[in-house]
C-alpha cells in the first residue's frame, strides 16, 4: 500500500497519493510537456490512469512511495522516492513532475529538496539516485543545485540516453564526537577498543590520558581526565544513559553479544534477549566494568541466516 508520510514545506504539502487524485493527475499529464521525455507519453487519459494505478499499488520499504504535491489544496504535481526500476541493487530513486503553470517559482526545487531530505535524513538512506534524460536540461540543472553528482550515463526507461546522478548524506548536524570519562583507561581500551574495532571504527588519536576511535566524520573518546570527580559511571543518574550503535545484521548482533563476554562486557536483560527493546527491535544490551551501557541494534529488515 502506498502510504508514505506527509511532508510540508514553506509553500507545498506532499502527501500520500490517493485514488481520489487520479483525475487530477490525468489532467496534469494532459500537458504534453510533462511526459515529453518518456518513451510513451501519458497524454492519453487511460495511460495516465494506468500509471496512477501502478503507483497506488506500490509495495516497498516503509517511508518510501508516491506523493501528490499540493499547493493551497490543489494538486499541482507528483513525486516519488522508491527502489529504482532501472538501477541494480534496489537503490532509492527520486522523481518529480510539476504543472507548467507553476514553473519558474522554485517549487520543483522546493519539493525535490524536501523529498531528498526525507530520504537522506528522515530515513537515513546511504544514497538517493536520480535518472534524468540527457535532453531534460531543466531537471539536470535542478538536481545539480540540490548537490547531486553526475556519475555516468546510459539508456534507461526505454526513452534513450539518461544521466545518472547520486546524492549522498551531508555531515551537517551529525555527531562530531562523543567523549566518555572513565576511571580506568586500560579497562576502557579493552572493552571499547574491541567493540568499536569490531564495528569498523579505527583508532584515531592516542595521548597519555586517553584514546579515540573514528567512524566516518564521528569519533568517540575515552579519557581518564585529571578533573574526574568519581570512580564509576552511573547510567541511571542525570547524564548519559547509554550509547546505541547500528549493526549490519541480526546474526552479527548475536556474534558480537557472545564475543563481548571475553572483552569486559556483561549482558543486560538476558531473559528478554534479543527483544528487550520491543518485538520489532532486535538488539543486545551490554554493560562494561565501568558501568557504561551499549546497545547493539540490528539494521531493520535483516534476518538471521
7-128 maps to CATH 3.10.20.90: no
For 217-240, write each residue's pLDDT tens digit: 999 999 999 999 988 899 999 999
Looking at every residue in the chain, the average pLDDT score rounds to 94
Does the structure show a pLDDT above 90 at 165? yes
Strand partners, 167: 128
Residue partners of 200: CB distance under 8 A and separation at least 6: 215
pLDDT level of residue 303 (50, 70, 90 thresholds): low
Question: Per-domain residue ranges for the chain?
Answer: 7-128, 177-298
Supply the pLDDT for residue 39.
Answer: 84
Q: What is the CATH number of domain 177-298?
A: 3.10.180.10
Note the pLDDT of residue 302: 57
- H or E, element range at 257: helix 250-259
Whether 115 has a pLDDT exceeding 50, the answer reads yes
SS3 50: helix
Angle at 71 between CA 84 and CA 82, to 5 degrees: 10
| C-alpha cell at position 31 | 500537458
Domains 7-128 and 177-298 share a fold: no
Residue 55 CB coordination number (10 Å):
20
CB 114 within 8 A of CB 80: no
Amino acid at each position: 500500500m502506498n502510504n508514505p508520510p506527509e511532508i510540508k514545506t514553506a509553500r507545498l504539502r506532499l502527501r500520500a497519493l490517493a485514488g481520489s487524485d487520479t483525475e487530477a493527475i490525468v489532467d496534469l499529464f494532459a500537458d504534453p510537456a510533462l511526459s515529453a521525455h518518456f518513451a510513451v507519453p501519458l497524454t492519453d487519459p487511460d495511460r495516465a490512469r494506468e500509471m496512477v494505478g501502478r503507483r497506488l499499488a506500490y509495495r516497498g520499504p516503509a517511508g518510501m512511495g508516491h506523493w501528490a504535491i499540493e499547493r493551497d489544496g490543489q494538486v499541482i504535481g507528483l513525486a516519488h522516492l522508491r527502489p529504482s526500476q532501472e538501477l541494480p541493487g534496489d537503490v532509492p530513486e527520486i522523481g518529480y513532475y510539476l504543472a507548467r503553470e507553476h514553473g519558474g517559482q522554485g517549487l520543483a526545487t522546493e519539493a525535490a529538496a524536501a523529498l531528498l531530505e526525507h530520504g537522506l535524513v528522515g530515513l537515513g538512506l546511504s544514497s538517493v539516485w536520480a535518472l534524468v534524460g540527457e535532453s531534460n536540461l531543466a531537471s539536470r540543472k535542478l538536481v545539480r543545485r540540490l548537490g547531486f553528482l553526475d556519475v555516468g550515463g546510459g539508456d534507461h526507461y526505454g526513452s534513450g540516453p539518461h544521466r545518472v546522478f547520486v546524492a549522498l548524506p551531508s555531515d551537517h548536524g551529525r555527531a562530531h564526537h562523543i567523549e566518555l570519562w572513565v576511571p580506568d583507561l586500560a579497562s576502557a581500551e579493552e572493552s571499547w577498543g574491541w567493540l568499536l574495532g569490531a564495528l569498523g571504527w579505527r583508532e584515531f588519536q592516542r595521548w597519555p590520558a586517553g584514546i579515540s576511535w573514528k567512524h566516518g566524520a564521528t569519533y568517540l573518546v575515552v579519557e581518564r581526565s585529571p578533573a574526574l570527580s568519581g570512580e564509576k559511571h552511573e547510567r541511571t543518574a542525570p547524564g548519559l544513559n547509554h550509547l546505541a550503535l547500528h549493526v549490519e545484521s541480526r546474526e552479527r548482533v548475536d556474534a558480537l553479544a557472545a564475543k563481548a563476554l571475553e572483552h569486559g562486557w556483561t549482558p543486560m536483560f538476558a531473559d528478554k534477549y534479543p527483544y528487550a527493546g520491543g518485538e520489532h527491535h532486535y538488539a543486545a544490551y551490554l554493560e562494561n566494568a565501568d558501568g557504561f551501557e551499549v546497545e547493539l541494534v540490528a539494521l531493520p529488515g535483516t534476518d538471521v541466516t
